[in-house]
Amino acid sequence: MPLRFLALLSTLALLVSLAKAAIPGPDTDYQVAVSAFHKATATGSLEDRRVALDALVSLGEPAALGLLSGELGRVSTRLRESGDEVHRLRYAAERKRQFIDELKLRVEKDSSLGHSLKGQEEKLSELERKLDKQQQHVADYGPWHATLGEATAKFATELSSSKRKRVEKDVWNDIDDGQTFGDRLAAIEILGYIGGDGSAIALGKLIGSLTKERASLERKLPKLMKEVRKLEKRMQEENVKTGGRTSMGAQYARAKAEAAQMQRAIVRFGYLCDAASVAGGLALCHEEPATLEKSLRKLLSTQKKSRGGARRRILALLGSSGLEPVLAALRELLKVEKEAAGRAFLVQALAGAGDLNFVEWLLGASLADESWFVRSSAYQAAAEMRLKAAIPLLIERLDVEEGRLRTDAQEALSSLTAMNFRTSAILWRRWWDENEAEFEVPPLAEVFIKASLEARERVGTTFFGISTESRRVLFVLDLSGSMDFSMIPRNNPDDDPSRPYDEPKGKERSRLQEARTALNKAIGGTEDGAVFNIVFYASDVWAWEDDLVEMDSETRSEAQRMIEKLDAVGGTNIYGALAFALDMAGAEGGDEWSRPEIDTIFFLTDGRPSLGITTDPDEILGFVRDLNASAGIVIHTIGLSGAQDAYLLRSLAEQNGGKYSAL
């Protein structure tokens, strides 16, 4: 069942349980206020809801906290649901517009494509209609959620400790024993608003216990995956023999069922931990100074002993509070932190809080840290915080860095300046000398990177227009059967299996031919001495070589000859491909930097996931996000065809520091 539907159901039981608080009687002012509140939240305008809310809380009746908490859970769920859908629809609509623009150019040369253009325009209209509806929901629920959250938190602080704790106990029951994932998620979010003294500590402990449950499943999963991987290999062999057909679909579905359920649970534990991190930061903001000091000491002690991703989330909890005593403690911790991932997490937490007192350390020690993971995080932090003072220092880093970190420094400069002189320190210095005095850093939302006339050429490895100077690159290439379809969409732009596919005609090139050409160019542009490999996937996943290969003229020629012989057949196992690639790269998850041998992945596909232990985009994204959090590998994504999942590919790139290219 999709996550958003679970989320919609999530608060029903919680709403009922919290609303069961004793109500004084049918004729009291409180009962009248409750009835008005129910009516306003069901059918009223935002102003109606606010008036009813004010009337309810003004009575000071303790039973109202349960009612407010239940409504807050319901609204949080609907807001999250609509927000997620807005992202999906917006990315899909933007890709559809781009696709239509490309199709219009082709129609000018081939009028027979007109019917395809009309069909795509109709689909865009439907996407835009759905997007408008979901955006309206966000516009409606967002302000109400903010008002309700503030009122609920304020009301909770004014209650006696004993009355508040009774409601908290009901919420914790749903956190610990909620019947659905959605019940638990909603309850955690509610606790951030109503939690009293000690709630932040309790949420920190919850992160630890959830992480342990997750780790237990992660230890069991590889055994289940062995049988799944065997079947995927056999399916691929059968696909090759039969031209894409398989008789093993039912057997594969049975074999992967338990593994799929376990992987889903692993990802959801991550979601719960993330929610607890956000809620814990909010709960800290409700504490009095004396209690805050105690909570801070306890959470700092807890994070030091945490493993498996719990430390990262507790540090994020502390940073998200935005409280100066907490940020001061994080700054001091950063100065003595020995683990590279810990320093990177602290940089991310302090930058996320917009802590200006951290800037001096960021632009000094962090920019020059011995770990490339920390330096990369520092470059991103300087850009995120819009620091003018970082610009000359980043220019200096261009002379020091090499490989991907040089690209990272350049991208931070481009973000801060809306200029692009690639990695030429000479051109950057010339520009800065001429513009420093009057230059103002543009807001991030206004940044449009402009290519400099003085430095248009691409450098290093370039794959479908995405360039990097990385010397540790992994290419992941889709070889599913649809890669044999034409790059020119005609009668079936969406690869609808119920209709004939668009085969290449005349001089048209297939998607595989286009990928071969681009990959050959990328291999040709990769410097000698770089390490690389190529991962292929269809129903199964395999690599060109068992280990990473050092680039030289001989390996370059071998790789390019191999690329020309590639064939396409089978399904689209995106989860399996990403798991295989991240394992080969050296991503290990957890709270220690894994020092991956690969720092950049190029991931190409022409379709949507059809095989693997999960085909759900959010589960795939959650899996990669957690595994890569302590590795720092950049993932660039390339989507070919109108059938690509723009939400998955764009989100995969955005969440892992990469770029998305759609063709």
* 554-603 residue pLDDT tens: 999 999 999 999 999 999 999 999 999 999 999 999 999 999 999 999 99
Query: 461-662: what fold?
Result: Rossmann fold (3.40.50)
Count CB-CB contacts under 10 A for residue 288: 9
Contact 634, 474 (CB under 8 A): no
Contact 328, 357 (CB under 8 A): yes
The H-assigned helical ranges of 59-113 are 64-109
pLDDT for residue 179: 78
Q: Is residue 77 classed exposed, middle or buried when 0-12, 13-18 and 19+ CB atoms within 10 A define those classes? A: buried
User: What number is the average pLDDT over the span 506-532?
Assistant: 96
Count CB-CB contacts under 10 A for residue 136: 11
Report helix, strand or coil for 532.
strand
All residues at 6 or more sequence positions from 59 whose CB lies less than 8 Å from its CB, including other chains: 29, 30, 33
> What's the Cα-to-Cα distance from 311 to each of 162, 286, 317, 365, rounded to whole Å?
32, 22, 10, 22
Q: Please, what is the average pLDDT of the chain?
A: 92
Spatial separation of the C-alpha atoms in residues 151 and 158, rounded to whole Å: 11
Q: Is residue 267 classed exposed, middle or buried when 0-12, 13-18 and 19+ CB atoms within 10 A define those classes? A: buried
Which residue matches tokens 């690509």? 644
Spatial separation of the C-alpha atoms in residues 348 and 352, rounded to whole Å: 6
Side chain identity at residue 449, one-letter code: I
Minimum mean pLDDT range among 50-54, 106-110, 407-411, 566-570: 106-110
Structure pTM?
0.92
Report helix, strand or coil for 640.
coil
pLDDT for residue 604: 98
Which among 560, 549, 562 is positioned nearest to 525, based on CA atoms?
Answer: 560
Phi/psi of residue 466, nearest 5 degrees: -100, 125
How far is residue 32 CA from its own chain's centroid?
45
Spatial separation of the C-alpha atoms in residues 252 and 41, rounded to whole Å: 47
Minimum mean pLDDT range among 94-108, 155-169, 374-388: 155-169
Q: Is residue 2 classed exposed, middle or buried when 0-12, 13-18 and 19+ CB atoms within 10 A define those classes? A: exposed
Q: Is the pLDDT of residue 15 over 80?
A: no
User: What number is the average pLDDT over the span 503-523?
Assistant: 95
Spatial separation of the C-alpha atoms in residues 533 and 522, rounded to whole Å: 12
β partners of residue 637: 603, 660
> What's the Cα-to-Cα distance from 422 to each of 5, 247, 440, 460, 658, rounded to whole Å?
45, 51, 20, 11, 16
Pull the structure tokens for residue 459: 């450098």
User: What number is the average pLDDT over the span 27-38?
Assistant: 90
Q: Of how many residues is the chain composed?
A: 663
Confidence of residue 460 (pLDDT cuts 50, 70, 90): confident
For helices 617-628 and 646-655, the axis angle rounded to 10 degrees is 10
Count CB-CB contacts under 10 A for residue 571: 27
The H-assigned helical ranges of 385-440 are 390-400, 404-417, 425-435
CA dihedral in degrees (357, 363, 365, 366; nearest 10)? Answer: 90
Q: Is the pLDDT of residue 533 over 80?
A: yes
User: What number is the average pLDDT over the span 625-629?
Assistant: 98
Side chain identity at residue 255, one-letter code: A
Spatial separation of the C-alpha atoms in residues 292 and 302, rounded to whole Å: 15
Report helix, strand or coil for 304.
helix
Listed by start position, the domains of the chain span 3-90+127-196, 356-458, 461-662
Report helix, strand or coil for 568.
coil
pLDDT for residue 27: 55
